[in-house]
C-alpha cells in the first residue's frame, strides 16, 4: 500500500515538473516574442524619427530659400524653366536663362522670351510665396485675411523693384516685365484681396501671371518665333533664287557670246581655206610648167579640229 502511494506521488511529481518546464518554455517564448516586437517598434520609431528629421531639415531649407531673394529666384526659375519646357519651348531658341540684356551685367532677368526680330520679353520669378503658403495652411479666417494682405504687399514691393530695374528698356517686345508667380491660386487670391492691384501693376508695366498665363504668353512667343523663322527662310530662298537667276542669265550670255565668236571664227576659217584653195589652183599650172617633181599639197579640210576636238564644220568633212 505504501509503495503504491509512493509511486503515485512520484508520478504526480514528474507530471508537475513537466508542466512547470512547459510553462517556463512557454513564458520564455512569450518573452522572446515580446522582445522582438519591442525591437521592431523601436526600429519603426527610429525610422519615423529620421523621416521627421529629414522633413524638418527640408522645411528649414525651404524657409531659408524663400527668405532670400536668391533662393526665391532659384526655386522660381526652376518652376519657370520647367513650365517653358513642358510647353515645348527650347532653351537657346525660344528662351534664354539669366541672359545679360544690357551688356553690363546689371540687368539680368531670370528668363527672356524670344519673339523674333531681335525682340525679347523679360520674365522675373523671384516672387515670395511664404505668406501665400501661410494663408492656405491656416484655418482661421482672420489669419488668412492678414496673410493675404501681406501677400499683396509683397507683390507690390516686388513689382516696384522690377519697375525700377527698367528691363523694358533692353527687352522691349511688350514694353514691360512679366512677374511670374508659380501658382495660379496665389495670383487670383491677390487680385481678389486688392481690386486695385491690377491697375496699379499695369500703370508700372508689370504683368502678373501664374503658370497658365505664362503658358499663353510663351505659346504666343513660340508661334511668333516660328513664323519669323519661316518668313526669314522664305526671304533667304527668294534671295538665293534671285542670285541663281542672275548667275544663269550671265552664264547664258557668256555661252551665246562664245558661240557668236566661234561662228565668226569658223566663217573666217572657211574663207581662209577657200582663198588658199583658190591660190593653190592658180599656182598649180605654174608648178606644172616648172617641171617640179613634187606637186603642191592638198589643202586639208576634214582633219581640221577646234580646241574641243570637234570638227570645225560638218560640211568641211
Tens of pLDDT, residue by residue over 291-315, are 666 776 776 765 445 444 444 443 3
Which secondary-structure segment (H or E) carries 27?
helix 2-66
Which range is most confident: 201-210, 216-225, 243-252? 201-210
Which residue is associated with the grid cell 521627421? 52
Query: What are 29's three cell numbers?
Result: 517564448
Which range is most confident: 149-163, 230-244, 245-259? 149-163
At a CB cut-off of 8 Å and minimum separation 6, what does 296 contact? Answer: 280, 283, 284, 287
Quick one: pLDDT at residue 306? 47
Q: Can you tell me the distance from the alpha carbon of 30 to that of 46, in angstroms, rounded to the nearest whole number?
A: 24
Q: How confident is the model at residue 25 (pLDDT cuts 50, 70, 90)?
A: confident
Tens of pLDDT, residue by residue over 184-214, are 888 998 999 999 999 999 888 889 988 888 8
89 pLDDT more than 60: yes
Mean pLDDT of 159-183: 80
pTM of the model: 0.51
257 pLDDT more than 70: yes
Quick one: pLDDT at residue 227? 56
Mean pLDDT of 264-288: 75
Quick one: pLDDT at residue 316? 39
Amino acid at each position: 500500500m505504501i509503495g503504491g502511494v509512493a509511486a503515485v506521488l512520484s508520478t504526480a511529481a514528474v507530471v508537475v515538473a513537466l508542466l512547470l518546464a512547459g510553462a517556463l518554455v512557454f513564458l520564455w517564448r512569450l518573452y522572446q516574442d515580446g522582445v522582438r516586437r519591442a525591437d521592431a517598434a523601436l526600429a519603426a520609431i527610429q525610422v519615423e524619427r529620421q523621416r521627421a528629421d529629414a522633413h524638418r531639415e527640408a522645411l528649414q531649407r525651404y524657409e531659408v530659400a524663400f527668405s532670400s531673394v536668391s533662393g526665391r529666384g532659384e526655386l522660381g526659375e526652376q518652376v519657370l524653366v520647367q513650365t517653358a519646357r513642358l510647353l515645348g519651348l527650347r532653351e537657346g531658341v525660344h528662351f534664354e536663362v539669366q541672359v545679360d540684356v544690357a551688356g553690363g551685367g546689371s540687368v539680368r532677368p531670370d528668363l527672356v522670351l524670344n519673339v523674333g526680330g531681335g525682340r525679347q520679353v523679360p520674365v522675373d520669378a523671384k516672387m515670395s510665396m511664404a505668406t501665400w503658403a501661410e494663408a492656405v495652411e491656416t484655418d482661421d479666417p482672420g489669419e488668412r485675411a492678414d496673410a493675404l494682405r501681406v501677400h499683396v504687399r509683397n507683390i507690390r514691393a516686388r513689382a516696384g523693384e522690377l519697375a525700377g530695374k527698367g528691363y523694358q528698356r533692353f527687352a522691349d517686345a511688350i514694353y514691360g516685365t512679366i512677374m511670374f508667380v508659380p501658382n495660379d491660386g496665389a495670383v487670383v487670391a491677390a487680385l481678389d484681396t486688392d481690386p486695385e492691384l491690377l491697375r496699379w501693376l499695369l500703370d508700372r508695366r508689370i504683368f502678373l501671371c501664374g503658370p497658365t498665363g505664362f503658358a499663353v504668353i510663351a505659346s504666343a512667343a513660340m508661334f511668333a518665333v516660328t513664323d519669323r523663322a519661316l518668313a526669314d527662310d522664305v526671304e533667304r530662298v527668294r534671295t538665293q533664287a534671285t542670285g541663281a537667276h542672275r548667275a544663269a542669265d550671265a552664264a547664258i550670255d557668256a555661252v551665246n557670246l562664245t558661240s557668236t565668236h566661234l561662228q565668226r571664227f569658223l566663217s573666217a576659217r572657211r574663207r581662209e581655206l577657200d582663198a588658199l584653195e583658190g591660190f593653190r589652183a592658180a599656182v598649180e599650172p605654174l608648178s606644172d610648167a616648172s617641171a617640179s617633181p613634187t606637186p603642191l599639197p592638198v589643202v586639208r579640210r576634214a582633219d581640221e579640229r577646234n580646241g574641243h576636238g570637234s570638227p570645225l564644220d560638218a560640211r568641211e568633212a
